[in-house]
A = this chain, B = another copy of it.
């Protein structure tokens, strides 16, 4: 004898002696409900412990009060930090978060976007290194608003919140160029938009500082601590005495790899990394880094998304947030 406990708006209506429409009104705080009946309904809701069914509500209203997040990794400190910003603002606006890991694979990204669309999310925050054409097309056909966090769309079609990575790279490399002839750029895949920006900034800074550039100075790598550790030989072999690294985990790996090989940092080798996440504090020496406002990137993205969802006017399609340099121990000053 399965008892069906589900308490619906009809139950409340019946007990309160009103119509279900009235119950719906008080639940949604809609105007024009007499104070006495409002209270009566509220009491019954309390009494019956009624909870509106968000699914039914979503079907009727076409809004799910849920947003979707696509990201390339659950563990990477960069994205974790952004998520906190997203979460705080999402909570303020009463959105729940549907989250999914794409591994940075465009096919998975597309599948996840479709998935989210099917679940009727009100908006999507997309994170990654780049925006594949296939993904951009999918997004453009969506009626659901999408915003990029911590990256930009090179085609500038999709709204985005990020920092100026090219300029930040110029600044970071400029610091290293003071004390060094031969610099290395250690970056994620150059097919990715965010990294081509950095690549451009790297070259620009070398030129501005009258340093030679060759492709050999550029190392592409996966974003992981292990990958960073394995780079030591290559970096030393090319004769570099300083490196700009685009990822904190990789930088930590490179640093520890160098230390384990007896190279002193910053005396014999200087490192600047890019995200200033907590990882940069774990190492000794800790890592000088571009200081991106990652929390803000998340918070602004989410706030931005609420505007898109509500079809509010927006001034700029892309928000470029300011960054700083966090000078720590892996540079000599």
State the CA gap A119–B59 with chains docked (Å).
12
List which A92-148 residues lie within 8 A (CB) of chain B: 96-101, 114-115, 117-120, 143
In the complex, whether A87 has a CB less than 8 A from a CB of chain B is yes
Q: Is the CB of B96 within 8 A of A98?
A: yes
B101→A100 contact, CB < 8 A = no
Instruction: Report the bound CA distance from A282 to B75 in whole Å.
Output: 14
Set of chain B residues within 8 Å of A59, measured between Cβ atoms: 53, 55-56, 59
A38 CB to closest chain B CB (Å) equals: 21
Contact B51 A225 (CB under 8 A): no
Q: A51-B114, A75-B80 are in contact. Are A259 and B282 (CB under 8 A)?
A: no
Of the candidates B77, B100, B279, the one whose C-beta lies within 8 Å of that of A97 is B100
A84 within 8 A of B: yes
Complex Cα distance, B57 from A59, in Å, reads 9
Chain B, Cβ-Cβ closest to A278 = B225
Q: With A59-B59, A282-B282 in contact, is A119–B66 under 8 Å at CB?
A: yes
A83→B52 CA distance, assembly (Å) = 29
- For chain A residues 56-103, which have a beta carbon within 8 Å of chain B? 56, 58-59, 64, 66, 74-75, 77, 80-81, 83-84, 87, 96-101
Q: Is the pair A66, B98 in contact by a Cβ cutoff of 8 Å?
A: yes
List the B side residues contacting A52 at CB < 8 Å. Answer: 118
Residues of B within 8 A of A279 (CB): 282
CB distance from A39 to the nearest CB of B (A): 22
A283–B281 CB distance below 8 A:
no
Asked if A81 and B75 sit within 8 Å, CB to CB, the answer is yes
What are the residues of chain B within 8 A of A97 when measuring CB–CB? 98-100
- Chain A stretch 16-64: residues in CB contact (< 8 A) with chain B: 51-56, 58-59, 64
In the bound complex, do residue B117 and residue A51 qualify as a contact, i.e. CB atoms below 8 Å apart?
yes
Does A310 belong to the interface (CB within 8 Å)? Answer: no
Q: Does A211 contact B (CB under 8 A)?
A: no
Q: Is A284 an interface residue (CB 8 A)?
A: yes
A331–B83 Cα distance when bound, in Å, is 35
Task: With CB as the reference atom, state the residue of chain B lying closest to A281.
Answer: B225
CB-defined interface of A272-294 with B at 8 Å, one 1/0 digit per residue?
00000011011110000000000
- Is A252 interfacial (CB 8 A cutoff)? yes
A162 adjacent to chain B (CB < 8 Å): no
Contact of A96 among B53, B81, B100, B283 (CB under 8 A): B100
Please name the 4 residue pairs, one residue from A and one from B, whose CB atoms are nearest each other, closest first.
A282-B282, A54-B118, A75-B80, A54-B119
Can you list 7 contacts pairing A with B, beta carbon distance less than 8 Å?
A51-B117, A66-B98, A96-B98, A97-B100, A98-B99, A252-B282, A256-B284
